[in-house]
Chains A and B, each alone.
Chain A
Amino acid sequence: MIGTEMTQRLLDRNGLVFVGLLLAAAILVPLLALVAPAGSLLHMPPYVVALIGKYLCFALLALSLDLVWGYCGILSLGHGAFFALGGYAMGMYLMRQIGSRGVYANPDLPDFMVFLNWKSLPLTWWGFSSFPYAAVMALLAPGLLAFAFGWFAFRSRVTGVYLSIITQAMTYALQLAFFRNDMGFGGNNGLTDFKDILGFNVQAESTRLALFSLSALALIAGYLIARGIVTSKFGKVVIAIRDAESRTRFLGYRVETYKIVVFTVSAMMAGVAGALYVPQVGIINPGEFAPINSIEAVIWVSVGGRGTLAGAALGALLVNFAKTWFTDALPELWLFALGLLFIVVTVFMPKGILGLLDSMKPLRSPPVIASPTEAKQ
Chain B
Amino acid sequence: MSVAADNPVLTSSLLYLDGVSVSFDGYKALRELSLVLAPGEMRAIIGPNGAGKTTMMDIITGKTRADSGDIYFAGSHDLSHLDEAAIAELGVGRKFQKPTVFESHTVDDNILLALKAPRSAIATLFGRQPANERERIDRILETTRLKDHRARLAADLSHGQKQWLEIGMLLAQDPKLLLVDEPVAGMTDAETAQTAELLREIARDHSVVVVEHDMAFVRDLGVKVTVLHEGSVLAEGALDEVSADPRVIEVYLGR
Contacts and interface: CB of A to CB of B under 8 A. Distances in A.
A370 interface: yes
B131 interface: no
B119 A373 contact: no
Interface stretch (B48-56, B98-106, B223-231): B98-106
B163 interface: no
A240 B113 contact: yes
Contacts of A373: 103-104, 155
Interface in A203-247: 229, 232-234, 236-237, 239-240, 242-244, 246-247
B84 interface: yes
B88 A370 contact: no
B93 A250 contact: yes
Contacts of B102: 239-240, 243-244, 247-248
Interface in B58-115: 61, 63, 83-85, 88-89, 93-94, 96, 100-105, 109, 112-114
A254 B119 CA distance: 8
Interface residues of B, number: 30
Nearest to A240: B102
Contacts of A371: 104, 155
B153 interface: yes
Interface residues of A, number: 30
Contacts of B63: 246
A345 interface: no
Nearest to A260: B121
Contact of A366 (B61, B84, B88, B153): B153
B105 A229 contact: no
B26 interface: no
A236 B155 CA distance: 15
Which applies to chain A's interface (DSSP): helix, strand, loop or mixed?
helix
A104 interface: no
A369 interface: yes
B158 interface: no
Contacts of A243: 102-105
Contact of A234 (B109, B125, B173): B125
Contact of A244 (B88, B100, B125): B100
Given A243-B103, A252-B173, A370-B155, A232 B84 contact: no
Given A240-B102, A257-B120, A373-B104, A252 B155 contact: no
B88 A252 contact: yes
A338 B168 CA distance: 46
B121 A234 contact: yes
Nearest to A367: B104
A359 to B, nearest CB: 14
19 contacts: A233-B124, A233-B125, A236-B109, A236-B124, A237-B113, A239-B105, A243-B104, A244-B101, A247-B100, A248-B113, A249-B88, A250-B84, A250-B93, A251-B169, A252-B89, A257-B120, A258-B121, A366-B153, A370-B103
Interface of B: 61, 63, 83-85, 88-89, 93-94, 96, 100-105, 109, 112-114, 119-121, 124-125, 127, 153, 155, 169, 173
Interface of A: 229, 232-234, 236-237, 239-240, 242-244, 246-255, 257-258, 261, 366, 369-373
Given A250-B93, A251-B169, A254-B121, 11 more contacts: A229-B125, A234-B125, A239-B104, A239-B105, A240-B102, A247-B101, A251-B88, A251-B119, A254-B120, A257-B121, A261-B121
